[in-house]
Structure 1
Amino acid sequence: MVRGSVGVIFGETGTLEFKMLVSDSTAVYRGAYIKAWHETDGWVLAQVINITRSSESFTIEEAKAGQRKDKSDDRIVAEVIVIGTRDKEGMLRSPTIPFSPGDLIYIADEGLIRSVLGLLGQDMNIGLLEGTGIKVQLSVNSLVQKHCSILAKTGSGKSYTAAVILEELMDRDIPLLIIDPHSEYTSLKMQGPDDPEAFKKYGVTPKSYADRVTVYTPANKAINPDADETFRLNGMNLTVKDLTSIFPDNFSTTHTGILYEAIQSLRAEMETYTIDDIIFAVGNDKSKAKWSVISMLENIRDTDILSPNPTPIEALVRKGKVAILDFKGVPPDMQSMIVAQLCLNLFEARKLDRVPPGMLVIEEAHNYAPEKGFSKTVSTDILRTIASEGRKFGLGMMVISQRPARIDKNVLSQCGTQIIMKVTNPNDLKAISKGLEGVNSYVEDELMRLPAGVAMLVSNDIERPILVDIRIRRSKHGGESVNVLMAAQTQSLPPPPPVANAPPLPEETPVLRKTAPPLPSAAEPATIEENRVSAPPPKRKPSRPPKNDGGKLFTRIFGGGK
């Protein structure tokens, strides 16, 4: 064969696929990009999707004896799919005439790969094209405006990959608002470990983003002391819709009616009111159902999430800044309510141009926008709205999940860029195939075999799904799993603290030999004192609130001031 060729086309050929007899097994592998000269279209890019190897020139005895050293007569056959070539107008075209058996095959050069796949003119470096040294770069505008999803099974590197993209966006001053359920992204404030070879391979340098990142906590600072600021929602002049959206399943029609009457009476009397005022007004209702409403309102108040001085959305979304909402210590139902209120405020602020264009990042998105049939959350509707309408107002969204089958399909289908890592669950694979463009059975097989750190990229800007070796992070990774064995070897339980003024233990502990006192005989009845000691205390009936008491009981419990 001609020098430089790695194989030759043979057998039956077509315009979209053919087989090649491989001559250089060191250069041709599954996933390799190759090129063939076509009589009418010039150089055409193709990719190897499968390889088989066969030989019959040896015996079993030779193989067992290790005497089969010459493998030059092995027959290596590769199955190839045709990607195409660019015409004069820059459009991707596939040949209209089948390839000719006997045509030579060569390894594709970087220029042809970039041109045909559409990797030219991009600006975000997310890694290398698998098996090559070619950088894979994405368009910032396309990623933000058309939304993005990162899907993978646990431990495949989805949070790591998300952080790589966030670093690229931060380097370009894109405002970011991150919903972080597990405190994984606070490590953006720390510089990554020094690994010269890896940084050189991907063409990046270690970096800290501490000057850009602010961590907010909805919980008490005692629970999350590493947070920079406390996050609070507006607690003034709450409406019925505001309150019922927090715990929607707890409010019945009767409860909502009581709440509505209380708020209407407050509006007639004062310009501003708080949740304590609402509780007081509900206490004046004559219905017995008011006690359930008061209990629910007190639960909301006791979370401390409501405040007369809420965190302004303008403080969260700023050019070149990152706000992380760290949900450590926050109950799941409260998380959903906060996401719903926050995203609604964000969407309205962006429509009115009160905040700059930016991206909303939702980690564990299946918890906040679940598919029908799995669960119901108050945040689903607003996330659907942002997914379908956000691009018109410059509000992008990145959804990250380990369970693609459980994310609302209306949200997932709006993502123009999909970064998919290893997925093995059949339901998740099925959801990916149905909900994402450009995914077929070949792609499904690839997704089940992907090693950690390698992702499949499906984008409107790239002609076909490609595999990307995700680059190393500039900042420190914060999503590592806990090493249980190491923790057990390095840590031990502290001794119990000494009890102040505790008497010394006796030589023989009587408790260990203590027996029940003998039962009284018929001739010796139990005394009144013995009965008094051994008899259980009488049960008391739970007290109930007085009937039609107006606000008197409430005043006794909570005080008379508003």
Structure 2
Amino acid sequence: MHLKGNELGIVVSHRKPPTHLSFIFQLNDDIDVKVGEFVEVPIGKYVLVGRIVLITAYNEYLENPEFIRDHMQRGLSISARFPIDIGRWRAAKVEIIAMFSGDRIHPPNIPPEPGEMVYRAGTEVLRKLLGIREDGLFLGTMYGNSDLKVKINPESLVRLHFAVFGTTGSGKSYTVGVLVEELLEKNFPVVIIDPHGEYFTFREKNDDMSAVAKLSLLGLTTRGYPTQIFYPSYGGSGNLSLNFSQLNTDAIAEMANLTPVMRDLLYLAMRNLRDSGIKKITPDLLLSTVNEIASKWGFYKKTTLTLSRNISLLKELGIFGTGFDPKEIVKPGQLTIIDLSGDIEEHIRRIFVGAILQELFNARKKNLIPSLLVIVEESHRFAPQEEDTYSKTVMRKIAREGRKFGIGLGVVSQRIVGLDKDVISQCGTKFILRIDTKTDLDYLRPYLEISSEEDARRIPYLPTGVAMITGRATRYPILINVRPRKSKHGGSFI
């Protein structure tokens, strides 16, 4: 029921008549609305719901350029001679996105009549419209409507993958932290690929007093979360090794920096070993097989020597061992961090990521571990658009097939133009924070789905900690104020 006095304005037709897709309404003088807000218009048994996409201010006394120029040339004050306050009025353009009939949602197909009253959309209408559910992930409150808690479906987020994009300092990693907290509280296992070592503080309570006070207003309290951290074995340190026999030819070739001819020789040697039924392949066994195959197929001695030397150098890195047990990595309600912030060569770092993701994918396919979410920070480094890397191959595979096997992928990046398009396109939900570079925005535009051009234009001006959610998690794009974290944040605070 819409009470008298809650009206925002009235539907008008003097500039452009209403259609089933959009309309313009004139705002009441004492009303404050913002672009992006949702409104509703009751018409018969239906309620039209739309979003404000444009607000325009007018003044009938200031529409004539000659009138204004005459007063300026004569040094006369227009406001002193005419009641320009009375001549002011504002209009808002609304794009209609749905119609409600009881609890049923219909596509828009009826225009509002001129003269109909426009109201700010009610909380219950917004919940139904956006698919907000009480048992969802509480990410924050709607921007401009702090009474509406945004709680999204965890299944649609994880199973259909997601991306978090934003420039440095926009609140990108903080948003990821809130997402992870919510999933952990629902006993969901999460693995984070962490190139900067900024997520280790999850086991600690948030001790920022401002955040603690804001949490209290939301009915929340601080806490830490079960967290384990693995560091790659490299140069004699670390607690996470790779099992050489579990690496495929592409991984070894990339790690050893091989030429195409060397790759051919390596492929033949690896195929020979696997066809022989050998399951445990070691660098030494591979070296002896390389020499046999090179002699059999007539490879140049220089090719054989260089390949053998490069494989021998891999042994000295200290990255190989018994490998890891996916069951130790993935546990319900636990955060596992793969900390890659150490002094590791970038191509070795990529191999670690690819090998870990591949093992988790294989284990999930065999149902050896529970359904999980893998978040890859700095994802443009591991799935670069312009390079073919082992890690990108595996990330693409998870993005395409993970839904079938219960492994979700979250990609996080501030350099969107460098991230593989195939990976981006598979992310069903995008969290967009402030992005102020035109190249990144242009690169992202095709993936904003039903977001309007007006939404895209607002992205460079989003305040820190404000995120646009677009895609499968919400039926329509919305802006949210990301809630404070319960655990301590390892980066900059929002």
Greater alpha carbon shift after TM alignment, 329-338 vs 2-11: 2-11
Is 1:275 paired with 2:291?
A: no
Alignment root-mean-square deviation, CA: 3.2
> 1:207 is aligned with what amino acid?
R
> What is the match of residue 191 of structure 2?
177
> What is the match of residue 333 of structure 1?
347
The match for 1:42 among 46, 52, 71 is 46
Following superposition, the deviation at residue 163 of structure 1 comes to 0.8
Report Cα offsets for 1:223-275 as digits up to 9, x if no partner: 7xxxxx6111113587655522424x524324642785599589989985632
Is 1:244 paired with 2:253?
A: yes
Following superposition, the deviation at residue 56 of structure 1 comes to 5.1
Following superposition, the deviation at residue 437 of structure 1 comes to 2.1
- Is the 2:152–2:474 Cα contact (8 Å) retained in structure 1? no
**In 2, distance between residues paired with 1:462 and 1:274?**
49
Structure 2 residue matching 1:30: 3-state secondary structure: coil
**In 2, distance between residues paired with 1:68 and 1:369?**
63
**In 2, distance between residues paired with 1:262 and 1:467?**
52
Is 1:413 paired with 2:425?
A: yes
Report the TM-score when normalising by structure 1.
Answer: 0.75
- Is the 2:139–2:482 Cα contact (8 Å) retained in structure 1? yes
> What is the match of residue 527 of structure 1?
none
**In 1, distance between residues paired with 2:488 and 2:80?**
49
Change (3 A) 1:346 1:419: same
> 2:241 is aligned with what amino acid?
R
> What is the match of residue 144 of structure 2?
131
Counting only pairs closer than 5 Å after superposition, residues 193-212 of structure 1 correspond to structure 2 as: 193-195=208-210, 196-209=212-225, 212=226
> What is the match of residue 93 of structure 2?
79
The match for 1:319 among 317, 332, 345 is 332
> What is the match of residue 33 of structure 1?
38
**In 1, distance between residues paired with 2:172 and 2:478?**
17
> 2:223 is aligned with what amino acid?
K
Q: Which has the larger Rg? A: 1
> 1:106 is aligned with what amino acid?
Y
Which residues of structure 2 form unaligned runs of 5+? Answer: 63-70, 296-300
**In 2, distance between residues paired with 1:375 and 1:218?**
23
Structure with the greater relative contact order (CA < 8 A, sep ≥ 6): 1 or 2?
2
Structure 1 residue matching 2:431: 3-state secondary structure: strand
Following superposition, the deviation at residue 351 of structure 1 comes to 0.6
Report the TM-score when normalising by structure 2.
Answer: 0.85
The match for 1:187 among 197, 201, 209 is 201
> What is the match of residue 22 of structure 2?
17
> 2:114 is aligned with what amino acid?
P
Report Cα offsets for 1:312-368 as digits up to 9, x if no partner: 111111112221111112221111111111111111110101111111111111111
> What is the match of residue 499 of structure 1?
none
> What is the match of residue 65 of structure 2?
none
Change (3 A) 1:31 1:263: closer
Counting only pairs closer than 5 Å after superposition, residues 73-472 of structure 1 correspond to structure 2 as: 73-88=87-102, 90-96=104-110, 98-133=111-146, 134-192=148-206, 193-195=208-210, 196-209=212-225, 212-220=226-234, 230-235=239-244, 240=249, 243-247=252-256, 249-254=257-262, 256-257=264-265, 260=268, 274-279=282-287, 287-307=301-321, 309-328=322-341, 329-371=343-385, 374-472=386-484
Change (3 A) 1:68 1:294: farther
**In 1, distance between residues paired with 2:142 and 2:79?**
41
> 2:173 is aligned with what amino acid?
S
Change (3 A) 1:216 1:65: same
Structure 2 residue matching 1:289: 3-state secondary structure: helix
Following superposition, the deviation at residue 124 of structure 1 comes to 0.6
The match for 2:59 among 55, 61, 78 is 55
The match for 1:8 among 7, 10, 15 is 10
Greater alpha carbon shift after TM alignment, 464-473 vs 185-194: 185-194
- Is the 1:47–1:80 Cα contact (8 Å) retained in structure 2? yes
Following superposition, the deviation at residue 180 of structure 1 comes to 0.6
> 2:50 is aligned with what amino acid?
A
- Is the 1:205–1:474 Cα contact (8 Å) retained in structure 2? yes
Report Cα offsets for 1:257-311 as digits up to 9, x if no partner: 278559958998998563245456768988233331233113311221111x222
Change (3 A) 1:459 1:16: same
Is 1:474 paired with 2:486?
A: yes
Identity of aligned residues (%): 26
Report Cα offsets for 1:152-173 as digits up to 9, x if no partner: 1222111111111001011111
- Is the 1:456–1:468 Cα contact (8 Å) retained in structure 2? yes
Say which structure is richer in helix: 2
Following superposition, the deviation at residue 57 of structure 1 comes to 4.8
Change (3 A) 1:289 1:222: closer
**In 2, distance between residues paired with 1:452 and 1:310?**
41
- Is the 2:60–2:87 Cα contact (8 Å) retained in structure 1? no
